[in-house]
Structure 1
């Protein structure tokens, strides 16, 4: 079964057992608006149903992997109903990527920030070029992580380290992120795709069915917790969107200045 390739915000190609999915909004560092997230969800579901495909590589076009949620889209969002619609797509995207019956690889270069980092963390293997900038930096606009960011950080580094990293909004290069326990492999600049290809080659000559059985066992035991975390994140995110600190964070971002938060 051939994959659909009529996407406006994605490049999709297949090679043997592998689907290569590229986020394709390079003019905005692949910021996640509703169209991109909806198309990504569609293609991941299509891949999940395709028995011929066993490996997925997620990467970004242009200068970075993904700069996170589209701030401009956030500014034009009106009311709680539109917010809930947006969050529904985020929640389904995270659970689909986390539990899909394929080996998933993120090949990161440049920025992987906010929701973009959450999506990368939902994959099985994280590769990052050494000068990449990885950040769970929602705190900079007075928000909490979404896309399962709390759960995915906790799963990789533990609750205490995750909490402090989220509080600080740490920006880490790949060596720092690897030492922290956040990613699996550091590669030289310009080599993330080549390293992903090496993983694909190694996995393609491995007993993939057995590997996927192990993934299914481990992921199924945690999926309910991820779903519960996503619900809590949505509730918290809506509350935080009403705060003075969030408004200040957004204004500071637009005006390219340091925010003056007041804890309100």
Structure 2
């Protein structure tokens, strides 16, 4: 069984027996997704898409969690409108690439999966999280809206009414509740994520993956156009939200570690 390992600055990639294991690797920042990681993820996924030896992709996080979301400090440092839209276009391309891959894709979640990190996980076909995982679409706390296709992915899994509740409340959901909501497909005993991933991967390897992927492609004909529209809507809406007083207050409160006082402006 041949094992091939590739290392990026913010990612680790291992290929073994028709399976690629892609690990987010900024553990010091709880795998917060900075611009470099977003670009490396897109590059890596495009390369994997061309690899006909790979039938399954597993995405997981190094360290204490899957991903805390976008790197807030770096996102705040983005310059003007042009730079903002450039990185948002990269995020949108990343999500579309992952969502549309002609592979079976699996997200293995432990610890925190929040914001853009949760959107990334939800772009996969099958989600496994540990019982004590903390899943949150928590943009509301800093006066922003979900991006990375968060609106699309939540409505696909929960329905619009429940998706709005999760977004507006900024609720933190543990593994068992996420399973009950159908936000994830499987909840593993804490500390047993690897075993659960391995079990699911082995099940897939014993099936005709070509047929599974073909079903995925048929559904993509229906769903991808909707995702494309939502990604564009999120991009422009997020720019508008960044100009609001509520967003500025949310960020200030985040920095000062206090509860924000929003005014609806």
TM bucket by the smaller chain? over 0.9
Contact 1:3 1:46 in 2 (8 A): no
Supply the distance in 2 between the matched residues of 1:201 and 1:252 (Cα, whole angstroms): 46
- 1:164 maps to 165
Asked if 1:15 corresponds to 2:23, the answer is: no
Aligned to 2:232: 231
Deviation at 1:230, TM superposition (A): 0.2
Q: Is the 8 A contact 1:114 1:135 kept in 2?
A: yes
Measured in 1, the distance between the counterparts of 2:221 and 2:193 equals 29
- Distance apart, 1:220 and its partner CA: 2.3
The 8 Å contact of residues 55 and 209 in structure 2, kept in 1 or not, is answered as: yes
Question: Hey, what's the Cα distance between the residues in 1 that align with 2:157 and 2:44?
Answer: 26
In the TM superposition, what whole-angstrom CA distance separates every residue of 1:138-164 from its partner, at most 9, and x where no partner exists?
000000000000000000010111011
Q: How does 1:171-186 map to 2 (within 5 A)?
A: 171-186=172-187
- Structure 2 gap segments, 5+ residues each: none
Q: Which residue of 2 aligns with 1:88?
A: 89
* Structure-2-length-normalised TM-score: 0.97
Where do 1:1-264 residues align within 5 Å? 5-264=6-265
The total of aligned residue pairs comes to 264
**Structure 1 position 3, deviation (Å):** 6.9
Give the drift of 1:191: 1.4
Find the residue that maps to 1:5 and give its secondary structure. Answer: strand
CA distance in 2, matches of 1:94, 1:132: 22
Tell me whether 253-262 or 126-135 shows the greater mean CA deviation. Answer: 253-262
SS in 2 for 1:254: helix
Measured in 1, the distance between the counterparts of 2:46 and 2:78 equals 26
Q: Do 1:137 and 1:170's aligned partners in 2 also have CA atoms closer than 8 Å?
A: yes
Does the 8 A contact of 2:66 with 2:110 survive in 1? yes
CA distance, structure 1, for counterparts of residue 244 and residue 22 of structure 2: 36
Structure 1 residue 5: deviation in Å?
1.8
Whether the 8 Å CA contact 1:130–1:186 is kept in 2: the answer is: yes
Q: Hey, what's the Cα distance between the residues in 1 that align with 2:234 and 2:115?
A: 13
Q: Give distance in 2, aligned partners of 1:86 and 1:187.
A: 34
What's the offset of the Cα at 1:4? 7.6
Runs of 4+ aligned residues of structure 1 deviating over 4 Å after TM superposition are none
Q: Which runs of 5+ in 1 are unaligned?
A: none
Q: Does structure 1 retain, via aligned residues, the 8 Å contact 2:5–2:12?
A: no
Asked if structure 1 preserves the Cα contact closer than 8 Å seen for 2:114 and 2:135, the reply is yes
Cα distance per residue 1:163-197 (max 9 Å; x no partner): 11101011000111111110000001111122111
Q: Is the 8 A contact 2:11 2:40 kept in 1?
A: yes
3-state DSSP class of the match of 1:107? strand
For the 8 Å contact 1:114–1:138, the answer to whether it is kept is yes
Structure 2 CA distance for partners of 1:230 and 1:197, relative to 1, 3 Å: same
Aligned mates of 2:112, 2:198 — CA distance in 1: 21
Q: TM-score, normalised by structure 1?
A: 0.98
